[in-house]
A and B are shown apart, each in its own frame.
Chain A
């Protein structure tokens, strides 16, 4: 399944020498996200300071050549913290986007293919989940389980798959009746092969496009939850948590809030651009999702 997703993604990106045919949107988006990811991977090289080191001689310094983004109230280098923050934000964002996508798409595909009682029950579960505002539901679950990244995983895994299930089911209902699916049955292929090998690559496009938008929202969700103190706990360098820490100093040291905030904006923009580029490429009608 993951191999398939990878294949679809690579087909969608059409890696084989087709970069020249990417739209401008796509190129800009991929460049932004690519730079951010590289910076995260090579954080120890890129970041000039230890992100946890508190230097009480260097408290609340404005941006300068020594400290590109300035320092915070305990003298930590903000630029280094923002760079290390990439690791947390993008990793958590990736996991809470793509893990639910995998089983959401699978469940939706199965429901769409088989129909019947399973489908009816699944749809009612979906309706119930969608009836609650997403963010409120997450906050309630975390309030019950307690703050922390692990509980964010649990809360999001419980809720986020529903949209993917819905998309995949709708696409499967169309695809199921195409003759090539019937041909696969005529050729005696097992049902699992028909669903996952034949139908899946044809129904996953809308989920991939949606996942880009979802990824952006999930990075914002993590930052938001951390800002509220429900997510990543100090002293971990998470962007939302950093914005929250700088809140008290916003008039004296604007950079503590603003620059991590800009990192969030930049990441979100890059991912959205990729999403737009993908939806153009895949010729889908999901441009309006964001």
Chain B
């Protein structure tokens, strides 16, 4: 470690991830190329060391795809991803394997993320042995240590996932990710499938581990409140693009993209006085196979004008790294401040 570590742990530049729809045998023989779906469509951002970047978006926004692409699970069709200054190339199996010791992932569904035929001990032990994290003789002790780290007792090692509750499984999933002692974690909706009382336990655990182990985290979620709780910075995705990014506090106090504003107003709160009124954003998220022209949010945007239908909006810098991809970002921010966004809050 003579080389000075770069400030950004992860840097993404103009990333595009495409999927090809499957073809019939006839199409295959005739050489017809498959339809392409751009799940992530030109995304750039960095994640600084010890930072938690929250990534919010609705289904179809491409947030999960983006998270998986960072780990090299999907290939970048265009653009590049660098981790600690070195490019990630999904096609280089050997390089990726070495990288796995530095970056890991926790999944959403606690019921499918553990192999039902392996005990907790086998699952964790396999990681330790495969990556030679510790001596073979110490595997059992290390498994116990990992379980303790995530707040489980050592005797859980003998259990199969079917004997665990959702919260316990999620802790095991976390222990599996931490087994290789990574410094970067992608958490893909880690609490979305849990009951609220258990969700709070896991969120607190994640905070503790982040501080204790000095982790850098990409936290993917659809729930703004959870993201706000966990993140120092925030990125909002819509249909494959980041529409707004910046410090979490800045975005929550002055959201400058109409979509972010809509999301924030739509989130239900624990305030009975804020009795439900008219829906904030109309319409559905369009299919990624038929992306609208110009700004892809324009069909749902309350402030859309002709310019929005014609031209892709530029990224507008709003200071301190706060950026919004909207033709009228400043106006949107002013409107929000004037109504203090608020009035509804």
Contacts and interface: CB of A to CB of B under 8 A. Distances in A.
Interface of A: 11, 115, 117, 120, 124, 178-180, 182-189, 198, 201-202
Contacts of B97: 188
A187 B180 contact: yes
Contacts of B173: 183
Interface string B91-116: 00000110111001101110011111
B96 A188 contact: yes
B71 A179 contact: no
Contacts of B116: 180, 202
A178 B108 CA distance: 11
Contacts of A179: 107-109, 112-113
B141 interface: no
A186 B100 contact: yes
B100 A183 contact: no
A189 B130 contact: yes
Interface in B1-47: 22, 25, 28
A185 B73 contact: yes
A176 to B, nearest CB: 11
A186 B73 contact: yes
Contact of B25 (A11, A120, A187, A189): A120
Given A180-B115, A202-B115, A202-B116, A187 B127 contact: yes
Nearest to B188: A179
A96 to B, nearest CB: 28
Contacts of A117: 28
Chain B facing A: main interface SS: loop
Contacts of A178: 112-113
Given A117-B28, A188-B131, A180 B71 contact: no
Chain A facing B: main interface SS: helix
5 contacts: A182-B73, A187-B100, A187-B127, A187-B176, A188-B100
A184 B113 CA distance: 10
A180 B114 contact: yes
Contacts, number: 58
Interface in B102-148: 104-105, 107-109, 112-118, 127, 130-131
Nearest to A8: B117
Interface string B296-337: 000000000000000000000000000000000000000000
A178 to B, nearest CB: 4
B113 A183 contact: yes
A26 B28 CA distance: 48
Contacts of B118: 198
Nearest to B105: A186
Contacts of A184: 115
Interface residues of B, number: 30
A186 B112 contact: no
Interface of B: 22, 25, 28, 68, 71, 73, 96-97, 99-101, 104-105, 107-109, 112-118, 127, 130-131, 173, 176-177, 180
Contacts of B99: 188
Nearest to A11: B117
A183 B117 contact: no
Given A198-B115, A202-B116, A183 B131 contact: no
Contacts of B22: 115
Contact of B71 (A120, A124, A186): A186
B183 to A, nearest CB: 15
Contact of B107 (A11, A115, A182, A188): A182
A23 to B, nearest CB: 20
A169 B180 CA distance: 32
Contact of B28 (A120, A180, A188, A189): A120
Contacts of B108: 179
A188 B177 CA distance: 12
B117 A202 contact: yes
A178 B97 CA distance: 21
A124 B173 CA distance: 39
A242 to B, nearest CB: 43
5 A-B pairs with least C-beta separation:
A188-B100, A179-B113, A179-B107, A188-B97, A201-B117
A11 B117 CA distance: 9
Contacts of B115: 180, 184, 198, 201-202
Nearest to A184: B115
Nearest to A191: B93
A253 to B, nearest CB: 54
A3 to B, nearest CB: 14
A179 B161 CA distance: 14
A183 B105 contact: yes
A112 B169 CA distance: 27
Contacts of B101: 188
A280 B71 CA distance: 40
A226 B25 CA distance: 42
A180 B114 CA distance: 5
A76 B115 CA distance: 56
A183 B173 CA distance: 9
Given A178-B113, A188-B97, A189-B130, 17 more contacts: A115-B22, A120-B28, A124-B25, A178-B112, A179-B108, A179-B109, A179-B113, A183-B113, A183-B173, A186-B71, A187-B100, A187-B127, A187-B130, A187-B180, A188-B101, A201-B117, A202-B116
